[in-house]
Structure 1
């Protein structure tokens, strides 16, 4: 998984002047300094990810990334074990995104974040770990969250598009 590769490249070694990449039929090799990192490539045809990218959203929220991350971490303590579920409720009238998680053995957590919300009220339940992974890859203070409904993919992106940056992140919902 690329996140693990980038973690190794980033944390364990002083930044090299260059990285040598070698490819074989089923592996990619990263060589830099005295480090050699080998990763197995996925076999088969990579799925067309564009098919799951929503086109028309019913709700769009602009929230502070660090506040969202902190709220998710707080709520995650109360998410159901094994499901890692967190519920997001978008309320344009209040200008809030409410995060909620509950577990019968641990209790519940509810946090409301101020947000600039366009569109209709909406709700979605997702795995909080996947949301946190995406937030870590977005280099912006504000995050756009775009939702169709609770059964469709949720779209995350930076509030400001940087030059040559087309990064976005999709999290599939958990159906409850």
Structure 2
């Protein structure tokens, strides 16, 4: 490589040394719009586990049910599920895709409405769109059945402005990080407020108040504030909905009125 001010030599390797791209014996095929798939990845990937001791949690559950593709992730402390509508009923598919692979899918494929053709064999998956091909092995094992832990008897709902809530949690986090991000949330229907408080730490404490539209009972729960920020920055609507059943069941966080997405945060012990 030459220019007026430099002369660079880069040593290469013979093309024959490059590993062959494996060809899979395709068993099942599904087509998904790229923009919807990437949106689903972005709204779930952050909840994957980074603990290699449990490989099935270090991946994304990829499952079809009729005309729906369901992506799900969990690290056992939180869970994200995104449902993507399909043009037609798909073949029955259940597999676990490595989180790193799904991150790459979000990077290399354009966020357009063109279809990504996904082909699967027993242990491999291929993503293909207009000559861009990404191949990956699948994770062996069975993704945990998370449906039983989804709260069904919601007692309290609070509608909040997403940006205001992010700012409040970021202020609280300055102190909560000294206590493993443990914060207390108090939902007050009488005053239409969400109060977020930390315990007193060596560097101080914080109480943030966020206006809300509250339906139901007064509730107090303890949650991880960083987990809250992680989901809030990946939602795309102005208002979010916080749903609580009890202090012992997971909190649900979604965009207001959203039906195709679910995020659960497991409760912490209230001191």
Corresponding residue of 1:175: 269
Q: RCO higher in 1 or 2 (8 Å CA, sep ≥ 6)? A: 1
Work out whether 1:166 is the aligned partner of 2:260: yes
1:155 equivalent to 2:249? Answer no
1:94 equivalenced with 2:94 (yes/no): no
Unaligned runs of 5+ in 1: none
| SS of the residue 1:112 aligns to | strand
Selected match of 2:136 from 38, 45, 62: 38
User: For 2:140 and 2:181, how far apart are their aligned partners in 1?
Assistant: 26
What SS does the corresponding residue of 2:205 show, helix, strand or coil? strand
Q: Which runs of 5+ in 2 are unaligned?
A: 1-40, 46-98
Change in 2 beyond 3 A, CA 1:28/1:69: farther
* Alignment CA distance shift 1:29-1:73 (3 Å): farther
> For the Cα contact (< 8 Å) 1:66–1:141, is it kept in 2?
yes
1:117: how far off? Answer: 0.8
Q: CA RMSD in A?
A: 2.8
Q: What secondary structure does 1:155 align onto? A: strand
- Aligned-partner Cα distance in 1 for 2:133–2:202: 46
Per-residue CA distance 1:100-135 (angstroms, 9 max, x = gap)? 123522211111000011112111111122222322
State the TM-score, normalized to the length of structure 1: 0.80
Question: Structure 1 pair 62/174, CA: closer, same or farther in 2 (3 Å)?
Answer: same
State the TM-score, normalizing by the size of structure 2.
Answer: 0.54
Paired residue total: 172
**Offset at residue 18 of structure 1 (A):** 4.8
1:16-35 alignment to 2 at 5 Å? 18-31=115-128
Q: CA deviation at 1:94?
A: 1.2
1:109 aligns with 2:206: yes
Task: Give the 3 Å change call, closer, same or farther, for CA 82–37 of structure 1 in structure 2.
Answer: farther
Residues 1:69 and 1:107: Cα distance change in structure 2 (over 3 Å):
same
Alignment of 1:5-154 (within 5 A): 7-11=103-107, 14-15=110-111, 18-31=115-128, 36=134, 38=136, 40-41=138-139, 43-44=141-142, 46-81=143-178, 83-102=180-199, 104-154=201-251
Contact 1:90–1:123 (Cα < 8 Å) also in 2? yes
Q: How far 1:144 sits from its partner (Å)?
A: 1.1
Give the Cα separation in 1 of the matches to 2:226 and 2:124: 27
Structure 1 residues 70 and 27: CA distance shift in structure 2, 3 A? farther
Residues 91 and 15 of structure 1: is their aligned pair in 2 closer, same or farther, counting only changes over 3 Å? closer
Q: Deviations over 1:39-78 (max 9, x none)?
A: 643512x332221111112211111111111111111111
